[in-house]
A and B are shown apart, each in its own frame.
Chain A
Amino acid sequence: MNAREEVLARLRAARDAGAPRDGVPPTPRDYRRTGTLAPGSAEVVDRLAETLTDYKATVHRVADEDEVSAAVAGVLEDAGVTTFVAPPGLPARWLGEVTARVRPDEPPLSVARLDEVDAVVTGAAVAIADTGTFVLDASAPDQGRRAISLVPDHHVCVVRAADVVSSVPEALARLDPSRPLTFVSGPSATSDIELDRVEGVHGPRRLDVVLVGPM
């Protein structure tokens, strides 16, 4: 028997030898599958702003997409950013007022190049208000391959109200598991020293979120 056949044979024997006498009950799904706040509502965006802030992201609220570019420009200027990377499909209007130099990831930048830029600006696929999370889909044109939102030390993420949901189940239902996904909740952190949270380790140490939508 090769390893595959043998491991499977062992597990089949064990599955039967250890089968519970009364069988396995069906999985109860009576937990909440929709959140308390309506997707895209002013309330759910408010809650997201709170939970993001709890985990040390800096939140910038704007009323509509016309105001994004001023907000992004302000964040980059504030942080003294001179160059930043952007995924190939980032909406050009988000960068209209930005003075820092953009390096489009097209053709893909080398890791060494990514290490030289000061920041990255992306969109997001969905955001979860209950947990202060946004999710990056590496196959989405405004989010880009995973390395670009990882290597630069400062991440600016633009989240649209329409993509904000209340709960984890609602978010997963909107995501495609065949694509590489990154769930981000605050800047990188560690609890490894005395189980106390310290922000900023290997991932971007600074995280700004521009929240677009009803206020």
Chain B
Amino acid sequence: MTTDLGMPTTAPDGVGFLRGTESFPVAAHRALADTQLRRNLGHATRTIRGKRARVVAEVPDWEELRRAGEAIKADTMARLPELLEQLEEAVTARGGVVHWARDASEANAVVASLVRGTGADEVVKVKSIATQEIGLNEALAEQGIAATETDLAELIVQLSDDRPSHFLVPAIHRNRSEIRDIFLRALPGVDPDLTDEPRRLAMAARAHLRRKFLSARVGISGANFAAADTGTISVVESEGNGRMCLTLPDTLITVMGVEKVVPRWSDMEVFLQLLPRSSTAERMNPYTSTWSGVTPGDGPQAFHLVLLDNGRSNVLASPEGRAALHCIRCSACLNVCPVYERAGGHAYGSVYPGPIGAVLSPQLTGISGPDDPNASLPYASSLCGACFDACPVRIDIPNLLVQQRAASIASHRTPTAQDVAMRTVAAAMVSPARFRAAERVLGLGRFAGRSGRIRFLPYPGSQWTSARDLPAPPAETFRQWWKRTRGSQS
């Protein structure tokens, strides 16, 4: 693929985890046959949905906060390059070093060389979806650097050689007895009498990681927010593993997607109210750490901030699609999604699962053609609207899904600079009437009620909704479907 210098660009293939190997209907079909998986997911998402509703109801100005969050994010996108330069200046002024990375490979190379520069061959990591996206652990391993995930669920995933399936709880697809079995198998020195009591499991992880924390020389984190005006980075967490990684090592490397910048420190007053209640369904998560640059005598004395594009410029170039960059990764849309609850996170292929993943991943990677697994993601929805209602920053995911369906049909090539230029023209042509017409042509509609029960889905979704009651229909392949529908469009 050739790219035009300085033009918005999709994430390159071959590195990182933004794309699975098979289409959503195929992967979801298999997941649906796994009754244990469905039971685990159903139990976990039901628990969190009820709790979230209770803590949100406590906040009388929840809607006002959502609108503020939405507007702050839209404002951020409208001046993203300026804000990043401001952030760079603020971080640098406070003793941090800012690095820029065009894509996953470049970010991995920057981090690997920073780690090597310290002489360390081991790093401790706080959960960071951006570093999963770029395949950082794998890239470090190739350089002989061992990365230890310290978030409990990430550790479970790492020990079982698995992939994350949820933003907040990457091992949501595992229940307590499966976790015990993983620990018994893979945790060095674990008590053979370990039970599946969650408390005992958490203590086993504590014992395993404590020595690593206390001796770690390099910590690697993501960032939930970065205030451009003060250079203050925030990491929101629960267990204290984040505090350990952010405080005890000599060197801290933070990898952050460019969209995580916010204009002002004072904007945190909105996000620190929206995020915990939407995410863990708590009034506040146990720990939030904020820092700017380096503080003499406290915490890491070397701080590096790696700013990552990896397809984000391509998303930003779409007037409608850029709202997918507003996501604060709370996972509320996953927890309320009837499709996610049944298919599980792995079916989406990318590290960004669920409703938001279905609209974000295809925009980050672009769609290369009918065989591209990400082309099928926008169909991983019944368009029931629950995700929009739950989203703390009001991302209109159903609307984005419909647009991405159109895009997945229309753009069978990786977008070029020409496509980007065309988008501004195309955007002007969109009207409500056109939109409704497109919706009819595509055979869309709202197929599930607010009860969250899916009755049927348009093909290819029908291939798996039907699996619950009926044998899979001997239907056309996704490729055939693509040809047929695309044919009827042109």
Contacts and interface: CB of A to CB of B under 8 A. Distances in A.
A162 interface: no
Contact of B232 (A13, A130, A177): A177
A54 B284 CA distance: 11
A182 interface: yes
A186 B47 CA distance: 21
Interface in A156-211: 168-169, 172-173, 177-198, 200-204
B272 interface: yes
A103 to B, nearest CB: 17
Interface stretch (A38-46, A76-84, A143-151): A143-151
Nearest to B110: A3
B289 interface: yes
A189 B237 CA distance: 9
A188 B240 contact: yes
Contacts of A202: 150, 206, 209-210, 213, 239-241, 243-244
B284 A26 contact: no
Nearest to A115: B214
Contacts of B60: 32
A115 to B, nearest CB: 6
Interface stretch (A14-22, A59-67, A90-98): A14-22
Contacts of A188: 238-240, 286-287
A115 B316 CA distance: 47
What secondary structure prevails in chain B residues at the interface with A? helix
Interface residues of A, number: 81
B295 A28 contact: no
A128 interface: yes
B6 interface: yes
A14 B316 contact: yes
A19 B77 CA distance: 9
Given A13-B7, A31-B65, A18 B247 contact: no
B440 interface: no
Interface string B218-230: 0000000001001
A145 B313 contact: no
Interface stretch (B24-32, B168-176, B364-372): B168-176
A172 B6 CA distance: 38
Contacts, number: 293
Given A14-B8, A18-B322, A179-B295, A27 B68 contact: yes
B152 interface: yes
B100 interface: yes
Nearest to B297: A145
Contacts of B427: 21
Contact of A11 (B153, B198, B258, B428): B258
Contacts of A123: none
B81 A11 contact: yes
In this complex, the member of A15, A18, A146, A183 whose beta carbon has the largest number of chain B beta carbons within 10 angstroms is: A18
Contacts of B241: 201-202
A12 B288 contact: no
Contact of A7 (B202, B232, B299, B313): B313
Contacts of B421: 17
A205 B206 CA distance: 11
A26 B81 contact: no
Interface in B302-332: 307, 309, 313-319, 321-322
B5 A9 contact: yes
A33 B247 contact: no
B286 A178 contact: no
B244 A150 contact: yes
A132 B283 contact: yes
B384 interface: no
Contact of B205 (A10, A172, A201): A201
A178 B230 contact: yes
Contacts of A200: 199, 202-203, 206
B241 to A, nearest CB: 5
Interface of A: 1-15, 17-21, 23-33, 51, 54-55, 108, 111-112, 115, 128, 130-133, 138-139, 145-147, 150-151, 168-169, 172-173, 177-198, 200-204
Please list the 10 inter-chain residue pairs (A to B) with the smallest Cβ-Cβ separation, ordered nearest first. A203-B240, A9-B6, A202-B240, A14-B316, A131-B284, A10-B313, A14-B317, A188-B240, A201-B239, A31-B64
Given A180-B291, A189-B239, A194-B47, 13 more contacts: A7-B102, A7-B313, A11-B313, A15-B81, A18-B424, A20-B78, A20-B319, A169-B269, A177-B232, A181-B290, A185-B285, A192-B151, A192-B171
6 contacts: A10-B313, A27-B72, A132-B284, A150-B248, A172-B265, A172-B272
